């Protein structure tokens, strides 16, 4: 390990926060070997009861330190403390869920498959896993994966983003005190060096990644080259569909809350609205007030870097040059890395601009008859999240069956969350599923055994 430190910064003030030991390729190699040894000599041989107990102990310890976890997550990502507290609560629930799920994992017995003898399957942990997570939700993205990998019997090396690590250093300390040595390890550094060394190391059997489509595709190809399993939750550029019979007032409040959550820096944020022309004017009249009310109750969150803020401003300038109309909304101070919400009307669903991932508080509105909603969605290469607003539940469910989208909210917004549901996308939004009943399967390999 080099003597250098990786520093993260409070995006609200720009002030440096903690410094973390900066790994290099040689250190990553040692960590990967230690992970493999911990897995092979101990963790893979633990019983499901032992694993479940360990995960429950982690959840209980996080609950005792919830305030500290929330403060660390808020400071490093710039989100309000109340939002960070809720995320810690959700992370704890996922550790508890994975603990319960560990007890249910069994192979299959095919006792009637043959006249003599028998056949069965053994679910084996895939082995050491590299987990590479983003800056916007460090703790919750880890919780959607790490406890499930541990429940399956895998050891894990976690690489946080170099932009924000949130409460992960606290989690690292907690895990080091509750789990066998080297079962879970954390490495800090830049993706091209540390991430690449992890992905290519022969001791690592699987890579789980959360982040952009561009980087995810690079990692997926590298993992395939080295014969590793890959699971990725990648970019999301998500549609909101507003039918002619939707409750416009409710939809407007939910759209505003979903867009402004985490400052729009969320993979599942809904920022492309297709609204039936019959109710488009009513929606446009409701959205500015809904945004103002949301911001009055929830502080604006800054962009993670000044460069990202500048990218958003350039996108808006480009959209206005293309003829899209900027609808006035209540502005908030835009100093430093803060970027107030932007509402754009008259957008064209066939424009490349409409399909460009924004990752910020910019809402684009296209007036499209609801009969064309499905065909419009089929133009998108992304398929992570979708929001449907309609009084006709039968039609909404038919639409949900037709589209290639991993997570669908009908008359609901992303704050309505169930930890037992799987997470993942289609197309450019990723490969594989995490959480839910699929959470363990993602980290297991079945063996077929036939006994004569």
- Spatial distance between the Cα atoms of 133 and 32, rounded to a whole number of angstroms: 17
- Asked if residue 308 and residue 214 are part of one domain, the reply reads no
- Asked if residue 193 and residue 146 are part of one domain, the reply reads yes
Residue 308 lies in a domain: yes
Helix 168-178, helix 66-77: angle, nearest 10: 140
- Spatial distance between the Cα atoms of 384 and 356, rounded to a whole number of angstroms: 14
Q: Which domain holds residue 246?
A: 238-410
- Asked if residue 351 and residue 216 are part of one domain, the reply reads no
pLDDT digits (tens, 9 = 90+) for 354-381: 988 999 999 999 999 999 999 999 889 9
- Asked if residue 190 and residue 249 are part of one domain, the reply reads no
- Spatial distance between the Cα atoms of 202 and 228, rounded to a whole number of angstroms: 9
Residue 434 lies in a domain: yes
CATH of the domain at 229: 3.40.605.10
Specify the number of domains making up the chain. 2
Residue 416 lies in a domain: no
Residue 224 lies in a domain: yes
User: Are the CB atoms for 398 and 305 separated by under 8 Å?
Assistant: no
18 contacts: CB under 8 Å, gap ≥ 6:
7, 8, 76, 165, 169
Residue 307 lies in a domain: yes
Q: What are phi and psi of 322, to 5 degrees?
A: -80, 0
Q: What is the pLDDT along the chain (452 residues), one digit of tens a residue?
A: 556 888 998 998 888 988 999 999 999 999 999 999 999 999 999 999 999 999 999 999 999 999 999 999 999 999 999 999 999 999 999 999 999 999 987 777 777 766 777 888 888 999 999 999 999 999 999 999 999 999 999 999 999 999 999 999 999 999 999 999 999 999 999 888 999 999 999 999 999 999 999 999 999 999 999 999 999 999 998 999 999 999 999 999 999 999 999 999 999 999 999 999 999 999 999 999 999 999 999 888 999 999 999 999 999 999 999 999 999 987 666 668 999 899 999 999 989 999 889 999 999 999 999 999 999 998 899 999 999 999 999 999 999 999 999 999 999 988 888 888 999 999 999 999 999 988 999 999 999 998 88
Its pTM stands at 0.95
CATH of the domain at 335: 3.40.309.10
- Asked if residue 399 and residue 325 are part of one domain, the reply reads yes
- Asked if residue 223 and residue 152 are part of one domain, the reply reads yes
396 contacts: CB under 8 Å, gap ≥ 6:
243, 388, 390, 410, 411
Residue 193 lies in a domain: yes
Q: What token pair was written down for 259?
A: 């867009």
- Asked if residue 210 and residue 170 are part of one domain, the reply reads yes
pLDDT digits (tens, 9 = 90+) for 106-133: 777 777 766 777 888 888 999 999 999 9
- Asked if residue 155 and residue 264 are part of one domain, the reply reads no
């Amino acid at each position: 390990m080099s003597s250098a430190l990786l520093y993260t910064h409070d995006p609200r003030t720009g002030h440096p926060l903690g410094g973390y030991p900066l790994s290099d390729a040689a250190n990553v190699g040692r960590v990967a070997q230690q992970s493999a040894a911990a897995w092979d000599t101990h963790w893979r041989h633990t019983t499901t009861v032992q694993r479940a107990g360990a995960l429950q102990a982690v959840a209980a310890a996080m609950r005792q330190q919830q305030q500290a976890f929330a403060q660390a997550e808020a400071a490093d990502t710039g989100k309000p403390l109340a939002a960070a507290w809720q995320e810690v609560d959700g992370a704890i629930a996922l550790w508890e869920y994975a603990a319960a799920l560990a007890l249910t994992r069994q192979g299959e017995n095919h006792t009637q498959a043959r006249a003599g003898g028998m056949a069965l399957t053994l679910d084996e942990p895939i082995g050491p896993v590299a987990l590479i997570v983003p800056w916007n939700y460090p703790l919750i993205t880890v919780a959607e994966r790490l406890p499930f990998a541990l429940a399956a019997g895998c050891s894990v090396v976690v690489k946080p983003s170099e932009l924000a690590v949130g409460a992960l250093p606290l989690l690292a300390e907690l895990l080091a005190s509750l789990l066998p040595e080297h079962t879970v390890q954390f490495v800090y550094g830049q993706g091209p060096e540390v991430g690449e060394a992890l992905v290519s190391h022969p001791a690592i059997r699987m890579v789980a990644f959360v982040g952009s489509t561009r980087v995810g595709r690079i990692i997926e190809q590298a993992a395939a080259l080295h014969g590793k399993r890959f699971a990725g939750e990648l970019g999301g550029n998500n549609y909101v569909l507003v039918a002619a019979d939707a409750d416009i007032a409710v939809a407007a409040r939910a759209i505003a809350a979903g867009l402004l959550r985490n400052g729009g820096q969320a993979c599942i944020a809904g920022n492309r609205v297709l609204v039936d022309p019959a109710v488009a004017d009513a929606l446009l009249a409701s959205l500015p007030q809904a945004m103002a009310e949301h911001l009055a109750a929830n502080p604006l969150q800054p962009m993670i870097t000044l460069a990202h803020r500048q990218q958003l401003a350039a996108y808006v300038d480009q959209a206005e040059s293309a003829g899209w109309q900027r609808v006035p909304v209540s502005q908030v101070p835009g100093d430093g890395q803060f970027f107030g919400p932007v509402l754009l009307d008259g957008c064209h669903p066939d424009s490349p601009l409409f399909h460009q991932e924004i990752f910020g508080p910019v809402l684009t509105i296209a007036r499209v008859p609801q009969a064309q909603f499905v065909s419009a969605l089929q133009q998108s290469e992304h398929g992570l999240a979708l929001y449907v607003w309609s009084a006709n539940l039968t039609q909404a469910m038919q639409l949900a069956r037709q589209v290639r989208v991993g997570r669908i909210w009908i008359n609901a917004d992303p704050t309505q969350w169930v930890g037992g549901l799987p997470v993942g996308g289609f197309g450019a939004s990723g490969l594989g599923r995490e959480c839910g009943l699929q959470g363990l399967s993602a980290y297991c390999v079945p063996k077929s055994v036939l006994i004569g």
